[in-house]
A and B are shown apart, each in its own frame.
Chain A
Amino acid sequence: MNSTFQGVTSQEYKYGFVTDIEADSVAPGLNEEVIRFISAKKGEPDWLLDFRLKAYRHWLTLAEPGWAKVQYPTPDFQKIVYYSAPRPKKAQFASMDEVDPELKRTFEKLGVPIHEQEALAGVAVDVVFDSVSVTTTYKEKLAAVGIIFCSFSEAVKTHPDLVKRYLGSVVPAADNFYAALNSAVFTDGSFVFIPKGVACPMDLSTYFRINNQESGQFERTLIVAEEGASVSYLEGCTAPRFDTNQLHAAVVELVALDHASIKYSTVQNWYAGDKDGKGGIFNFVTKRGLCKGRGSHISWTQVETGSAITWKYPSCVLLGDDSIGEFYSVALTNHKQQADTGTKMIHIGRNTKSTIISKGISAGDSSNSYRGLVKVQPKAEGARNFSQCDSMLIGHTCSANTFPTLDVQNRSARVEHEATTSKIGEEQLFYFQQRGIPAEEAISMIINGFCKDVFRELPMEFAVEATKLLSLKLEGSVG
């Protein structure tokens, strides 16, 4: 191996600090009492408690999934704290001045200009800090066009009918082990509702943050776009560093009605553990979009660079005729990280189309797998899928795997899958260096070129962040 590649390892986690806020927590462990406690604490209606309890009872019958190509110690679900909330000083904050100064400093370190949203170029930020939304911005502006963008708990109180109608309609409570767990114990998350014919005037954004050492975070996101509505939603994650593995089992549900369009973008940079694989987040996420209406469109874009273990398959159920599903992904793993990620495209309606572009980069001792399913059901006349999965290996102790499944039950369907594996060529590097570009910069450029097809799907500010993030993550592993 070229000496250029030796020693390229990511720099220390920049966002690894702990904010000390006394949490209002329940004792570790899970039983029906804890679920009743969470539900009561949040003042939930009976139907939601029922939903939680049903999910919990089903979860008890399930076994943890073992098919993914990841290895980790089974989390002890009885050692997890299922509820913790920053102690509210008042019922509601009137302005940023009232927010815990400790919390504000955390966001400053993260570079979230929460009190200068104008500077965020029109991005409204709904900040989820350890399970309870502390502040929500731009609400009035959105409310003027009828858009609801609030924390999940608030939505349960203010729009119970909408929540009841759509909650669990895409990811049923019994869907899988982690989705069932989430359905039982989710504490908060985001709710977005775009009414008929409204194009959301700005990108919506949420920063998630895990803060309490023993608290797994169980977020629940529900986005509904009515007929002809459109929205672009951004999710970005950073977390403080800890040595105990933290479990994150989120559920994201998207519903697009006739001719609606939802674009969901994620940059995930949670603590991945140190060089020896100690610590790091377990990221077991169920994300699924339902293209329910004719001509609806759901697009997932993700840049996955963090977490010790990633288990994540943002999917599209293409139910409406002429609906479109897209999945653009960059997954980078380094050191001992393990990622098993991909997508599912379920073609049910006629003339449904899907595109999958996946770029996997593995370095260090990491393992990076693409796992995907393209399923064309018998009635999906004229379904069309194109998939491309490219892998790049940096170093000889990492691995890159692709596990696509194509299941086609309609003859008029056209499904194509292509995959390649490559490494950064010595000649490419030589060419850059000969032009006076140092190796490390050259590698960053080559990798950004490799990921170009995905980055151009990201909203502008995310694209900039993602480009920086990849270079940062590979710093020291090449050069």
Chain B
Amino acid sequence: MTVAVPSALLADLLSAPRPAEWEALRLAAEARLAGRELPTPRDKGWQFTDLAPLSHTSFAPAPEATADISADLLPEMVGTRQVFVNGRYAPHASCVSALPPGLRFLPLTLASEACHCLGTLAPETARSPFEDLNTARFEDGALILVPKNLRATLPLHLLFVTRAEHPCAVFPRVLIRLEAGAELSLVEEHMGHGPYLTCPVVEIQVGEGAILRHERVQRDHATAIHLATLRATVAQGGQYHSRTLTFGARLSRQEPSVRLAEGAEATLDGLALLGDGQLADTHSFLHHAAPHGTSHQLHTCVVDGQARAVFNGQIRVAPGAQGTDAQQKSRNLLLSGTARVDTEPQLEIYADDVKCTHGAAVGQLDPDEIFYLQSRGLDLEAARNLLTYGFAADLLERIPVASLRRALRRLVLARTHASALGDLA
């Protein structure tokens, strides 16, 4: 079957051979891509994020590669980690010796359950072309299945490393299903080296009363492009708590969408620490589909240099979703004269007995706070750096994995030039 040419870039990416498995799904995705163009700033949802850099580069399929990840291991998760290098499973870097019995954490290509789960865990909302691209071309990814009432004590570590000499593309795929009453903490990390494009897709199903804590760390290379999609459904009384921490990539976009059933709870926090010419975009969608759901969203951006942060947070309270409690806050700190923030909170409410608030603030450091620190003997620069660190690090405090929390604090300290103040981590 020949595929109609969508756009030069999409055609480029689709020119790679189609992997053998899941052919029907891949063909369907290709069919949807046929004739599609890359979104441009004229398209709804893309007016602040220009994908032009993509169309100037030709991305080849990622070659096989190896990576040394010894410096990136976290002690709590040495025996519960799966590593993927350039989109392929890396058995020598992975280790799952400490997995509790019954918990399945393995590459998709080795998981017989995968075919039942792919594309079925969370119903689709509007699909971005990058999700279809992922479906059409992903090589491998991870499957996580937590059986009923299993409460995993150790967190899982999922590491995607990309090493690119020349521009290349990878499509990580993650499927997560928690059965009723299960509980899990997961750390998903993206890192690498070189001018690559990564389009991860994560599908999540949280069962009745189950709890998933999901830390997502994006520290891709400074020349990389990261375009991620996440879809989650949370069943009655379930909880999904996620924190997306954006440090890397010159251009990145997160598109999480979460659908809440009755009495379900979600946290969708985000931190973007940006400098130089970075652009980080978050377009989130929280759907309160049934009564008595609760959601919290705190999105924090610290923007320096010529960087730019974009936030569009949509919350929809469906007809009949009475008793919904939705809170959203977008906080933004501009550190340079050339930094830019565009924030668009969106509330759509179709039920009357609800508590919904949103707030957005863009500004610089409070002169009173700086003065206070100066009066305590800190010089101006130190005072500024400490406050900047505090603004950003606020979100890190709730990370449940101690070693990750410390590592990220150090990263934020370094990025906010606050390291000189001593090891606050």
Residues of A within 8 A of B (CB): 1, 67, 376, 378, 391, 393-423
Contact = CB atoms under 8 A, between A and B. Distances in A.
A399 to B, nearest CB: 4
28 contacts: A67-B44, A391-B349, A393-B351, A399-B350, A401-B347, A401-B349, A402-B345, A404-B345, A406-B341, A406-B343, A408-B340, A411-B336, A411-B339, A413-B334, A413-B364, A414-B362, A414-B364, A415-B360, A415-B362, A416-B359, A416-B362, A417-B345, A419-B356, A419-B359, A420-B356, A421-B356, A421-B357, A423-B354
B362 A413 contact: yes
A408 B356 contact: no
A414 B360 CA distance: 11
A185 to B, nearest CB: 28
A1 B323 CA distance: 12
A396 B320 contact: yes
Q: Is the interface of B mostly helix, strand, loop or mixed?
A: strand
Contact of B352 (A378, A395, A410, A420): A395
B33 to A, nearest CB: 25
Interface in B360-390: 360-364
B352 A393 contact: yes
Interface residues of B, number: 36
A408 B350 contact: no
A151 B396 CA distance: 63
Most chain B CB within 10 A, of A393, A408, A414, is at A408
Given A396-B352, A421-B354, A421-B357, A402 B347 contact: yes
Nearest to B316: A401
A420 B355 CA distance: 8
Nearest to B348: A401
B359 A418 contact: yes
B362 A399 contact: no
Contact of A406 (B344, B348, B350, B357): B344
A393 B363 contact: no
B394 interface: no
Nearest to B336: A411
B342 interface: yes
In the complex, the 5 A-B pairs of residues with the closest C-beta atoms, listed nearest first: A411-B334, A393-B352, A414-B363, A417-B360, A421-B356
B304 to A, nearest CB: 9
Nearest to A392: B352
B351 A410 contact: no
B362 A378 contact: no
Nearest to A390: B357
A378 B343 contact: no
Nearest to B328: A419
A423 B353 contact: yes
B341 A408 contact: yes
Contacts of B341: 406-408
Nearest to A394: B352
B128 interface: no
B354 to A, nearest CB: 6
Nearest to A425: B353
B238 to A, nearest CB: 25
Interface string B307-323: 00000000000011010
Contact of A408 (B319, B332, B353): B332
Given A405-B342, A406-B343, A414-B363, A421 B349 contact: yes
B352 A411 contact: no
A417 B352 contact: no
B40 interface: no
B344 A408 contact: no
Contacts of B339: 411
Nearest to B303: A411
B335 interface: yes
A405 B357 contact: no
Contacts of B422: none
A418 B344 CA distance: 12
A395 B319 CA distance: 11
Given A414-B362, A423-B352, 18 more contacts: A376-B362, A393-B351, A396-B319, A396-B322, A396-B351, A396-B353, A398-B350, A400-B349, A404-B344, A406-B344, A411-B334, A411-B339, A414-B361, A416-B363, A417-B358, A419-B345, A419-B347, A423-B353
Nearest to B340: A409
A447 B267 CA distance: 33
A394 B355 CA distance: 14
A406 B337 CA distance: 17
A404 B328 CA distance: 13
A397 B322 CA distance: 12
A406 B309 CA distance: 11
B346 interface: yes
B334 A418 contact: no
A186 to B, nearest CB: 30
A417 B360 CA distance: 5
Interface string B36-73: 00000000100000000000000000000000000000
A399 B350 CA distance: 4
Contacts of B320: 396
A405 B344 contact: yes
